[in-house]
């Protein structure tokens, strides 16, 4: 089974994800990413490779980041230890410091017992599959073993947070004065930096979920648990709530009434605003196949084209880079603004969303009304042969029948899991009743036709 998943190496900390593995992975990373013309030029100039390392506040991050840093330094890489910071801050700092690569120790929205290791190449970009495969292969090969003065140094990156905050504030087209924001930091990596940045941008800030103890990250708070944020917004009479996940690469929101504003709606608001300012490259938004039909319709009404990708922010990023597009993301709240970031950035997204409220003098509910959210029903059909989901004639006929019945007022999507004997059936329709009816009918056909 491959070591790397869809977003780095992830698993139960001190279970599969041990200090030994973290050290070996770091050493292999130094071997693979220490190659190339830029790295050779550094060595020719008598300079060592440099890496930025950061983590979220979960307790296992302490020993895992120490193991990563030990592996890098033992391979002759100088390490800038940025401490607890969001994943997008790590990506930004790699580029800002002209580092050769960087490592983020985080399991994102997963619970505290899990952890993960994400590796970024020069410029703060995620690694392509082929490079991840080379690193995994290098773990079994010879390592770099300099001695004496040739070993790497580990230094505290003292102004890492300040650099990131200045970058975020410089990106804003409008200050947030007059807006009361509730921030839910998921007891995660944004607990310190997000409140500081929103306040510096002019917002009145109330904070929840910002007391990390190493064990409470994502525990009933953050972007996967929005009830507490909605209640806090109503209780404090705030205009908007912003929720991050554990490593703050996501942003979801709630309006003044506590209604959820998801990633699709956020992208719709930002896309139209960016087009008005001439900043939406090629008048195009990149979204996944799971984005709501309402997003497609809203964008069409504003002359914005939607490019679709497979599910996963890495696929969104790939398409954005290929087409040189400036905005993309997922319904889950991974929003990528490529003029300012190389990955999803929950702080950047939240700041720009609230900035539009301040600039336009509108409530979040008014801004979100740009898009009608179609009822969307997702049924996971388990115990089936996913390999035949898109080739079985009976399933294909059922999909065609449902699509014909829905016409322009709905959408059908069958998505086989990449790792489990499971097929996801997604139906959107003008009414929740129609969406449920067609989804259950299709799910039954999938169960009957593809049963193992």
Largest CA distance in the chain: 73
Contact by Cβ (8 Å): 30, 72: yes
Q: Is 249 annotated as a binding residue?
A: yes
Q: Is 171 a residue of the active site?
A: no
Count H helices, E strands: the chain? 15, 19
CB proximity list for 108: less than 8 A, separation 6 or greater: 7, 87, 116, 245, 246, 247, 249, 250
User: CA-to-CA distance for 261 and 333, rounded, in angstroms?
Assistant: 10
Indicate which residue of 65, 74, 75, 108 is catalytic. 108
Please provide the DSSP assignment of 350-393 as one string.
HHHHHHHHHHHT--HHHHHTTSPPPPEEEEEEESB-GGGTTT-H
Nearest Cα residue to 15 out of 103, 107, 114: 114
Nearest Cα residue to 248 out of 222, 213, 274: 222
Q: Is 213 annotated as a binding residue?
A: no
Q: Is 108 annotated as a binding residue?
A: yes
H helix or E strand, kind and range, residue 50 = strand 49-55
Task: Pick out the residues of the known binding site for Mg(2+).
Answer: 108, 245, 247, 249
Report, as residue numbers or ranges, the catalytic residues.
108
Task: Pick out the residues of the known binding site.
Answer: 108, 245, 247, 249
């Amino acid at each position: 089974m491959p070591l790397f998943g869809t977003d780095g190496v992830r698993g139960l900390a001190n279970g599969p994800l041990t200090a030994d593995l973290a050290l070996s992975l770091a050493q292999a990373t130094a071997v693979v990413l220490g190659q190339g013309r830029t790295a050779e030029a550094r060595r020719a100039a008598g300079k060592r490779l440099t890496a930025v390392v950061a983590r979220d506040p979960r307790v296992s991050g302490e020993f895992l980041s120490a193991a990563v840093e030990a592996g890098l330094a033992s391979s002759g890489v100088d390490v800038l230890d940025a401490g607890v910071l969001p994943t997008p801050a790590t990506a930004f700092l790699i580029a800002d410091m002209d580092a050769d690569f960087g490592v983020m120790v985080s399991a994102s929205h997963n619970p505290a017992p899990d952890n993960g290791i994400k590796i970024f190449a020069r410029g703060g970009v995620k690694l392509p599959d082929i490079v991840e495969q080379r690193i995994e292969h290098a773990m079994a090969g010879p390592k770099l073993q300099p001695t004496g003065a040739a070993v790497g140094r580990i230094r505290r990156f003292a102004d890492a947070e300040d650099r990131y905050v200045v970058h975020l504030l410089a990106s804003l087209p409008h200050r947030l004065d007059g807006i009361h924001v509730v921030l839910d930091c998921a007891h995660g990596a944004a607990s310190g930096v997000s409140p500081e940045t929103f306040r510096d941008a002019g917002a009145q800030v109330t904070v929840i979920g910002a007391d990390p103890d190493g064990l409470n990250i994502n525990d009933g708070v953050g972007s996967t648990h929005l009830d507490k944020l909605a209640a806090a917004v109503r209780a404090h009479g705030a205009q908007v709530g912003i929720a991050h996940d554990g490593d703050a690469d996501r942003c979801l929101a709630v309006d003044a009434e506590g209604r959820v504003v998801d990633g699709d709606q956020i992208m719709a608001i930002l896309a139209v605003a960016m087009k008005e300012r001439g900043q939406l490259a090629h008048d195009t938004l990149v979204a996944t196949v799971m984005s709501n039909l309402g997003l497609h319709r809203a964008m069409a009404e504003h002359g914005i084209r939607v490019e679709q990708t497979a599910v996963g922010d890495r696929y969104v990023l790939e398409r954005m880079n290929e087409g040189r597009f400036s905005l993309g993301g997922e319904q889950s709240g991974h929003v990528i603004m490529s003029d300012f970031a190389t990955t999803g950035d929950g702080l950047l997204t939240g700041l720009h969303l609230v900035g539009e409220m301040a600039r336009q003098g509108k409530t979040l509910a008014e801004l979100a009304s740009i898009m009608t959210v179609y009822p969307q029903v997702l049924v996971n059909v388990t115990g089936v042969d996913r390999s035949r989901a898109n080739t079985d004639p009976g399933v294909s006929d059922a999909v065609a029948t449902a699509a014909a019945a829905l016409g322009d007022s709905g959408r059908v999507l069958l998505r086989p899991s990449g790792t489990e004997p499971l097929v996801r059936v997604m139906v959107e329709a003008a009414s929740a009743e129609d969406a449920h009816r067609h989804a259950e009918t299709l799910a039954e056909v999938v169960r009957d036709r593809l049963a193992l």
